[in-house]
Amino acid sequence: MASLFRLADGRKRIQFYDGNGKRRSVGLGSISNRNAQRIRDKVEQLVEHRITQTPLDQSVSRWLVDLDEKLHTKLVKAGLTEAKTETLQAGPADVSSIEVTLTGFYDRYLSECSDLKQSSLSVYANVRRNLVEFFGVDKRIKEVTEFDADNFRRFLKSKNYADATTNRRCGAMKTVIRAAVRDRLIPANPFEHLTTTVNGNPSKRRMVSRDEIDRVLAVCPSAEWRLLIVLGRYGGMRVPSEPLCLRWCDIDWANQKINFRQPKNEHREGQQTRTIPLFPELIEPLNDVFEQSAGSEFVITDLRPRSMRDAAGNFASASLTTRFRKIIEKAGIVPWPRPWTNLRASRDTELRERFPSHVVNAWIGHCEQIAQKHYLMVTDEHFTEAAQDSVRKPVRHGHVSDRTAQQCDSGEGRFSAECNEKRPRARARDRQKWTILDLNQ
């Protein structure tokens, strides 16, 4: 991405192409080949950082901080970094100007968050791209106001992002700028007032019935496809990550349990694995695949090469999702939203009809709050069952019942003959007029 040249007089020069395809150069003067190569490597990382808008490596940030003013000015002219300003005091340590700009501090924050997964870093990379589009690269962090934060949110909405995406990206900004407040770079967080709660979208929830799954399974091209769908619908697994990690040794046939890895939660203490029952719906598909496994370690093998982790370390599910939609269409069914997630949500909703919530939460692998916000659904069966099981009892209003009338005639009970004389209309009322009282109200 960057090339090192030696001029006739012995001076060194680095040449590279920026994001617009324009060739740029940085003169290094008469320095050793080793130092020139080190600078070239740093320039390559700066060029990649500028083009891809990915977080800058921590080592490069430190290198820029300690860089001499002359070379730093050349990098600024080449469009590789921002100009230095006065050093700010932040508690006991000095904070360089490269961290005072909004993008500079954003990059520093991400470079020091070693506990973030690659999928989270990808989200933060998207936020940084939006950050540069709206604020530019030279916006100082102390110049950002609450009004700027509101406009940043409007900018995201103007790009037709879903509410969940907008809230998630504003939440990322809120988290990053909180660190700037803790570092005493700014007195308050201008993004703190923004709504960042990511709520579920009920319009995208869809109960996938057993009849529909049977139709889909009937047109699946292979036993592995049938198993993959069954593990999502009846096992409640996250597809593709959890089925692709499932090994034959994870299945405890004797105790009828399956213990498998949770890639989504593997960075959280005590949540690296999850155990579910060996549900009856899983046994036949597992046996069908086992007969074809030929001693392989993993349960899913044929679909595995096309959907393993990508360069960022995430499980690539785009291919599986597209092919799954085609299978659904082949079964004569209109593909439902979020094909894999709604399989898992359908199983979650289904299991709660039979088992306590804390048990289902342990099997599905999330908390009650997440289940309520993103998974649980009101189904047509709930309405049908409620209508059929309603206790309806005929009640006559405005007069006493037959049993009470008998008590009145015999002089027993609350309504004696004396009471009847005081309420003559009660006995004279037409007893054939009935109304239905729904006792469920």
List, for residues 193-236, the tens digit of each pLDDT value: 998 888 777 888 899 999 999 999 999 999 999 999 999 999 99
The sheet that has 251-252: what strands, in order across it? 251-252, 257-261, 273-277
User: What confidence score (pLDDT) does residue 96 get?
Assistant: 43
List, for residues 368-384, the tens digit of each pLDDT value: 888 887 888 888 888 88
Strand partners, 333: none
Residue 85 to residue 309: CA distance in whole angstroms: 42
Residue 408 to residue 410: CA distance in whole angstroms: 5
How confident is the model over 401-414, as a mean pLDDT? Answer: 53
C-beta of residue 86 within 8 angstroms of C-beta of residue 97? yes
How confident is the model over 132-154, as a mean pLDDT? Answer: 91
C-beta of residue 329 within 8 angstroms of C-beta of residue 222? no
How confident is the model over 309-319, as a mean pLDDT? Answer: 52
Identify the helix (H) or strand (E) that includes residue 6. Answer: strand 2-6
Q: 188-213: buried (b, 16+ CB within 10 Å) or exposed (e) per residue?
A: ebbbeebebebebeeeebbbbeeebb
How confident is the model over 296-313, as a mean pLDDT? Answer: 68
Q: Cα 302 vs. chain centroid, distance in angstroms?
A: 27
Q: How much of the chain, in percent, has pLDDT values that exceed 70?
A: 80
What is the number of helices (H) and of strands (E) in the chain? Answer: 19, 10
pTM: 0.57
Sequence-distant (6+) residues with CB within 8 A of 357 are: 368, 371
Residue 341's closest CA among 206, 165, 194? 206
List, for residues 49-105, the tens digit of each pLDDT value: 888 777 777 677 778 877 878 888 888 888 888 776 543 333 333 444 444 789 889
List, for residues 170-200, the tens digit of each pLDDT value: 999 999 999 998 888 888 999 999 988 887 7
Residue of 312 and 356 predicted with greater confidence: 356
Residue 126's closest CA among 100, 89, 165, 155? 165
Domains and CATH numbers, the chain: 1-81 (no CATH), 83-199 (1.10.150.130), 203-383 (1.10.443.10), 392-438 (no CATH)
List, for residues 10-60, the tens digit of each pLDDT value: 888 888 888 788 888 888 888 888 888 888 888 888 888 888 777 777 677
Any idea which residue has 């979650």 for tokens? 348
Q: Which amino acid is it at 34?
A: R
Strand partners, 93: 90
Residue 345, Ramachandran bin (φ over 0: left; ψ between -120 and 50: alpha; else beta): alpha
Q: Cα 147 vs. chain centroid, distance in angstroms?
A: 28
Structure tokens belonging to residue 441: 């109200």
